[in-house]
Structure 1
Amino acid sequence: MTTTPYVAAILNELNRAEDQLADEQVEQLAASITAADRIFVAGAGRSGLMMRAFAMRLMHLGLDAYAVGDTVTRSFKKGDLFIIGSGSGETKSIVPMAEKARSLGGTVAALTLSPFSAIGRLADIAVRLPGAPKDHADNEEATIQPMGSLFEQMLLLVCDAIVLRLMEMQDLRGKTMYGNHANLE
């Protein structure tokens, strides 16, 4: 068997998942990004990689964006936005970060499967992403993909869609953004 049927199955799952998104939640997050002084992102594992990619695109937009944990990440302050990508919403290393961001007067946003999770409850903005939890083995109908793959793919796609929405709001084009791309490569 070739990989082509698997690609088609994944794309089919992503199309079904897209139909479950709440546009108003995503739009609220996009608006909060434009209102924030600075944007900080975090996630663990593959979700963390998707969030780091998001921070990079926000920087390409000319926004002051950081991935929590990087050596060049600034201190969080009132007026800043902390965006968390966590399927479970219970990532033990990130819950205290969300609590700290709230205590400092910042806004917390969560991209999650579980808006009623610990992180979801701490969030001012909770965007429920469709997908399946990592331990979905007892519910194979949710996705053919292993572990949290569907959530992680949706996380990247939704973040990229937010970037497109922000580009539209700022009347930016990719060529303009390229001026912020690293050039010491």
Structure 2
Amino acid sequence: MNFTVTEQKIINEISRTLDSISTDETEVLIEQIKKADRVFFVGVGRVLLSLQSIAKRLAHLGIDTVVVGEITEPAITENDLLIVGSGSGESAFPLAIAKKAKAFHAKVAHIGSNPNSSMKEVTDYFIRIPVQTKLNLPNEIASIQPMTSLFEQCLLLLGDTIALILIENENIDMSQLWEYHANLE
């Protein structure tokens, strides 16, 4: 395969997956982001990298975001939202953090592939990215890419889509966003 053929296959997978994400679930998440005093993010591995990008993008919109584990992480409260990224919903660290957040009465949103995971017991909101898992669940979108690449890509693009919706719905002047951009670079 050459580059053009391969990149088109990947783009088609991403497009098909993003088209399969529930608009209703996404709108609920957006409302919860707007209501929260702070939005915390937790995940592991490449999922964490996508979540860090989403946290940074939302911070550019003036939303108070925190990545769990940062040295300056404040206490979570009942006024906050924890967004958990976990395709399987079974990753030990995000699951433990979600349980702890619920103990402090924070809202928990899970973005994942498996709607019936262990995360379900502590999740207030679920946004499904219906990509292929090792569980072979119904309606999964198969991928030619290795492991969970399609999940991480769509997670990142879901975050950017949410950011653009917030910009449009809140009538945010994009030229004003630079005030939130890092300036010690």
Shorter-chain TM-score bucket reads: over 0.9
CA distance in 1, matches of 2:81, 2:63: 12
Is it true that 1:150 corresponds to 2:150 in the alignment?
Answer: yes
Letter in 1 for 2:146: P
Letter in 2 for 1:44: V
Task: Provide the residue aligned with 1:77 in structure 2.
Answer: 77
TM-score (norm. length: structure 1): 0.93
**Structure 2 SS opposite 1:94:** helix
CA distance in 2, matches of 1:120, 1:145: 27
Could you tell me how far 1:133 is from its partner in structure 2? 2.1
Structure 1: segments with no counterpart, 5+ residues: none
- Whether the 8 Å contact between 1:134 and 1:148 is mirrored in structure 2 is no
CA distance in 2, matches of 1:114, 1:121: 13
* C-alpha RMSD of matched pairs (Å): 1.5
Letter in 1 for 2:35: A
Alignment of 1:87-126 (within 5 A): 87-126=87-126
Alignment of 1:26-175 (within 5 A): 26-133=26-133, 142-175=142-175
- Whether the 8 Å contact between 2:18 and 2:158 is mirrored in structure 1 is no
- Whether the 8 Å contact between 1:113 and 1:130 is mirrored in structure 2 is yes
Change (3 A) 1:144 1:150: same
Change (3 A) 1:116 1:27: same
TM-score (norm. length: structure 2): 0.93
**Structure 1 SS opposite 2:145:** coil
Could you tell me how far 1:135 is from its partner in structure 2? 7.7
**Residues 34-80 of structure 1, C-alpha deviations (whole Å, 9 max, x = no match):** 00011100111000000000110111111110100111111111110
CA distance in 1, matches of 2:50, 2:26: 16
Count of equivalent residues: 181
